[in-house]
Chain A
Amino acid sequence: MIEIKNLTKIYKLNKKKMMELKTKETTKKAADNITLTAKPGEIYGLLGPNGAGKTTTLRCVATLLTPTEGSVSVCGYDTVKQSEKVRENLCFLTNEIKLDPHFSPKYLFQFFGKLHGLDDATIEARRKELFEYFEITAFENKRIEELSTGMKQKASIAVSLVHNPQVVIFDEPTNGLDIVTARNVTDLLLKLRDEGKLVIISTHIMSEAEKLCDRIGVIIDGKKVTEGTLSEILAETNGADLEDAFFRLYKEHHKEEK
């Protein structure tokens, strides 16, 4: 279970970042008073345009960032005060977080297994199961740098699942993958959900959110503008489909801003 309460994250901007964002302000409110709850056995999707604050929110959940205000708890543990406990219970996957290219999937699997305090037998059993599922047994001894992008992605998913986490966080799960690998990944997310895990993802792809997510939270400019199942959102906005609904919300939000 993930509980986000009034999460606000403010970045301090240096000169370079200010230039990038074309702003004169010295801070950036990337997450603005977000409150949401996600439960085991569901796929929760954060949907929003570029720069909406999806990655920021997920990083706060994964203990990589500390909230400026508000709090986040995972499986009942506070992400700031009990960050090690939180990390024991979740895995966080993105395109930016990668495996060391000099090592083999097998070595890294064992390495992270040990960091999670698992014994050799458990690690070995998990490895058999996951490597077979992801079909990486054939190249488990090759170095990561020798693998193709898809293989790398599979290997890093397998490695991050070594400790059988209750919460799976995935920032843009299908970004940069071909249809086949992307399908593999979405299948896995569905499988994890059916096992009773909590899956939370971020995306800006409407079809992905429609097909995959049990509940969707729409984030625009750091604020959660609405939340619910697909049909709930469509009903609320009178949208024909999610894309339509999204644009209505987007316009609505920007009218309020002005």
Chain B
Amino acid sequence: MSLKDKLLSSYLTFQENQDFDNSIHDIKDAAIKIFEEKGFPTKKDENWKYTSLNSLVKGDFSLVGRNEDAIEFRDVKKYFLNDIDTYKIVFIDGKYSSYLSETTHDGVDVCLLSAALTKPKYKPVIDKYFDKIVKKDSLTSLNTAFAREGAYIYVPKGKTVSKPIQIVHFATGLESSLMLQPRNLVVVEENAEVQIIERHQSLNSNAVFTNSVTEIYAADHARVDYYKIQNDKEAASLIDNTHIDQQTSSEVAVHTFSFGGKLTRNNLNFYQNGEHNNSILKGVTIIEDKQHVDHNTLVHHKQPNCESHQDYKGIFDDRATGVFNGKVVVDSVAQKINAYQSNNNILVSDKASINSKPQLEIFADDVRCSHGCTIGQLDEDALFYMKTRGIGEKEGRALLMYAFANNVLESVKIPQLKSRITKLIANKLGVNLGFEV
């Protein structure tokens, strides 16, 4: 049975076991219909030309994990940011782990979507936002149909969440192959502020296929700072669908660090629904072997006087492949827009490849749009210069790659995270950089 058929046939049983109210059931019924019609995207789909889900959709994935709280904190400690205090929402094989988590209802809600979907007190927020921000494509719809668990973050007017929130999804590999569909809802009201770090991590080399959806709503003057750490094991694949609704004078930044995993696809969609929005999309991709990372971004400028800044850097070794597909749409009413986009890549091996494609659809006349894409090798003159100062080939290359990625890190606002990422980069490049950051 194909994965699609398996999903469709298990849908009814899944629904019967949930105590959602009718409006949620209706949303889910509509979503499964969309998925049934559209199915998994194929390479014939313009947006999926360079990323094939073939090997995944043929896989025999279990759709539910075992219900065991099977891991100890000390075994997974390294996957958390530990040197600062944080809230934690942790899932093991799709199930909430209260033992590893630290949630709150003190002024803000940092808790579980399963609770929000079922308890009456969250109903107003769920009715207003759940499934309202998303683009109803087949993968997001598939997630909507099965969505039950994930992070629920609600930050009321004027509140700043006092510490960053870590959302971590572990896969234990108890199942030989497991499909996970976490769903996060982040609502940040007027003048409120939050920082979130999200990570998907499998703990052994069994296959995991995660189809994740995150909805983020940033009200007037809200600030959201979201970091995605994608450094998973060789048999883990991730499709991340993130949909962001921005209202007047809000600022939302999403940093995506893609350092590992078999196949990673980021569908990152920004909808600017107010004036004076700032949208920041940054990414560093460093992959090797036969890994594949695809960044598919959309910034839809629907209102005037807004900005968007996209800066994606990639370093590809061995037979690794990358895709950058950055779409910027400027509606005719959206005058005085500044939209920047840059995608720079280094191919370390001649077998590595990157497909980079900007797509600009501009219907307003008073806009400033710039986009640039480079694909290159490391600068040999710089390597020689460094050697004359005693810095050898390997360290020199690493330093150049670090430097190349470095300016993307400059906008990381959590210092401990920044130094963690720098160390990850140094580790990946196999060197001691000779200095702390």
Chain B binds chain A: no
